[in-house]
Amino acid sequence: MLTTTAAILNARNAGLVVPAFNVPYLPMVEPVIRAVVDADAFALIETARLEWIKFECHSAAAVMAEFKKWEDPRHVRLHLDHVPGIDEDNQRVDCLPIFREAIALGYQSIMVDGSRLPLEENIALTRQVVELAHTAGIPCEAELGAVLGHEAGPLPPYEELFASGKGFTDVAEAGRFVKETGCDWISVAIGNIHGAISGVLKDQKKVEARLNIDHLKRLAQVTGIPLVLHGGSGVRREYLLAAIQVGIAKVNVGAEIRQAYEGAFRDTGRVSAAQDAVYARTSWLLSDYFNLSGTREKVTGEIL
């Protein structure tokens, strides 16, 4: 079976991207997979630690069990998203046992987020997790820079953030980070932000983010590995498409489909209606936003 490592590399080499869909509610898994299969695309299904704590997907084990009911290896893989060294509430996390559990469960790639740690600590933690992943034969994603949005409270004005470059991934640090950790992919901050997850902010429409493509080009040159864009929901499409051509090979999507699920469930009280909304939004993203319908073969190299 094609590895996730190979799929991401194939996407980058073909000028395509692999979307990674977060599923904070377990009933979202089935309609997302169905939409990917129906579009003849390739994608990752992913779950982050904060989604077990702040939403209703419960645990890495629960997501794996749900994924196993619906998985189609020709179209989807399961990825462990954001497991932090310091979490969104500024609490230290004993994260290595979480990675060991996910690997034992059969996750096909993992992501360590040491971005809130000092650089030396981020490098040290990431190197440990990379060793765990590579021993298991799977890739490890890491993060450098501050992709804001998950923290409690409102962000500073977006234009202020973008103009100042606050939190942007440092180019020199990125080159060193990749060399010293051996990570397979790196999540970068270039103007992208996460969707809010706290209080009334989580229901608000995301800021229409821009991306600093020149900064991304410099990061691509010094790292030499596939780059990842977190906070993909709401990024202006022209910037997204330009970023894919420069080296973004994986894009995380959370708020777009989470808000579709929550809105439909709030309006109807029916899980089936919420699932229909997720299917419709995922299908739109694949066909109209990412332009990925019919691209599975280019990513996997496999003819059905």
Active-site residues, by number, are 81
Confirm if 7 and 41 have CB atoms less than 8 A apart.
no
Is residue 98 helix, strand or coil?
Answer: helix
Q: Six-digit token pair at 286?
A: 């694949």
Closest to 27 measured CA to CA, from 196, 265, 266, 283:
265
Strand 140-144 vs strand 43-47: parallel, antiparallel, or unpaired? Answer: unpaired
Q: Rg of the Cα trace of the chain? A: 18
Buried b (16+ CB within 10 A) or exposed e, 74-112: bbbbbbbbbbbbbbbeeeebebeebbeebbebebbbbbb
Give the list of residues 6+ apart from residue 101 with CB closer than 8 angstroms, or none: 60, 61
